[in-house]
Structure 1
Amino acid sequence: MSFTWTPHRFAGGALALDVANSVILRFDAQRTVDRFADDRQLDNFAAAASTFSAERALFGDLAAVSRQNRERLIALREAIDRYFRGRTLGRESRTALAELLDAAAAALRGAESEQSLEAATARSALALISVPEPERMKICGNCGWLFLDRSKNRSRAWCDMAVCGNRVKANRHYRRKKEGQS
């Protein structure tokens, strides 16, 4: 399957969330896609994150994950999703936090450089733990991705208005129109 890392794929607002969001439709067993299952996509992610990530100024040009560190990055990705999704849903867990801290420490210890994707992802996750307004982290009402709501009034409902917001609005319009024709 052909796939390109586009700005929409970096709608999380933080590198750690963009990495967690690399699993598409995470909770739909029939349609879920792990973009990191293909080594080429994982290799391309670091370069794309260097261009599109909201935190690109903090981390600069990221180095791809070495073959021996891929498992660590995947473990970190899953720990990021578990902890922040639980926290966003009001089910914060000390166990999930400990797992995230362990995964971040392992990624930092094993990273080949500060500019490696796994080191930058770990640092991004650690920074998110202490975000001053944790209620700004949300789950997209369309695709289920984690994202930071940086809107002034905290009313953002979708990870990306141009993609998810438009899909939801188009579906709503279609249903209203169809109901009017009945």
Structure 2
Amino acid sequence: MTVSWTPHRFSGGVLALDAANTVVLRGDPERSFDRFEQAVELPRFAAAATGFRADELGGRRVEVEDAEAILPTVISIREATDRLFRHAASDGSVATADLPDFLRACADGLAGREEHVGMPEKPFGDPSTPLALEAALAVSALSLLSSDNLRRLRICPNCNWLFLDRSRNASRLWCDMAVCGNRQKARRHYHRRKEEVSHV
């Protein structure tokens, strides 16, 4: 099934979390599914990310040269990122036991690349050249290790997605208020009405 890469699919706040969230309903084996199950989705995700994550990427275009070849690396980065930062969001700390796999996955994403990242105004390197998806995911994931990002990590109570809470007072509840927030409001309203009717 072809995925529609809408703005909601990029509610994580950074590219690495958007990728982590491509496993839908993670933790629910009966209903969970993987949007990267077919490698053909990788270039489509990269094209959408180029637009929706333009600020993070410094305007650099993300590309996929060989989707089948990089799929294992992308999945490895995605799963290591989710494992490490889901624990951090839940417990408020990074589990060192998860760091070796995470760092290895990121290293694989950067292997063989001649990049210079982290420069002022060029966080992902030279914006005039394309960046491989696996390298972009690795750089984005590594950036999450900053103390400011770690304290802003959240798990959406509606969809279980990871996201960065960039609100001024760090009080955001949902990955996307227009989707998850409204669904929760509708659910609460439904249960309230149901209770009122049952007490009549």
Q: Name the TM tier (shorter chain).
A: over 0.9
Q: How many pairs does the alignment contain?
A: 182
Which SS does the other structure have where 1:4 is aligned? coil
Following superposition, the deviation at residue 98 of structure 1 comes to: 1.6
Following superposition, the deviation at residue 2 of structure 1 comes to: 4.2
2-structure distance, mates of 1:119, 1:168: 36
1-structure distance, mates of 2:98, 2:112: 21
RMSD, matched Cα: 1.8
Contact 2:106 2:142 in 1 (8 A): yes
User: Equivalent of 1:122, from 115, 138, 158?
Assistant: 138
2-structure distance, mates of 1:112, 1:78: 25
Aligned ranges 1:80-99 → 2 under 5 Å: 80-90=81-91, 92-99=94-101
Contact 1:35 1:42 in 2 (8 A): no
Following superposition, the deviation at residue 142 of structure 1 comes to: 0.4
- Compare 171-180 and 38-47 and name the one that shifted more: 38-47
Aligned ranges 1:1-182 → 2 under 5 Å: 1-53=1-53, 55-58=55-58, 60-64=60-64, 66=66, 67-90=68-91, 92-110=94-112, 115-182=131-198
2-structure distance, mates of 1:118, 1:131: 24
Question: Where do 4+ consecutive residues of structure 1 move more than 6 Å?
Answer: none
Letter in 1 for 2:138: A
2-structure distance, mates of 1:70, 1:112: 21
Q: Which TM-score applies when normalising by structure 2?
A: 0.85
Letter in 1 for 2:110: L
Following superposition, the deviation at residue 53 of structure 1 comes to: 2.3
Following superposition, the deviation at residue 32 of structure 1 comes to: 0.5
Q: CA offsets per residue over residues 89-112 of structure 1, 9 Å max, x none?
A: 116311211211110001100569
Letter in 2 for 1:94: T
- Compare 5-14 and 39-48 and name the one that shifted more: 39-48
Which SS does the other structure have where 1:38 is aligned? coil
Which SS does the other structure have where 2:63 is aligned? coil
- Distance change >3 Å, CA 135–CA 82, structure 1 → 2: same
Q: CA offsets per residue over residues 54-78 of structure 1, 9 Å max, x none?
A: 6454262100252212101100100
- 5+ unaligned residues in a row in structure 2: which ranges? 116-129
Following superposition, the deviation at residue 40 of structure 1 comes to: 2.2
- Distance change >3 Å, CA 20–CA 108, structure 1 → 2: same
Q: CA offsets per residue over residues 87-137 of structure 1, 9 Å max, x none?
A: 111163112112111100011005698601110110011111124252211
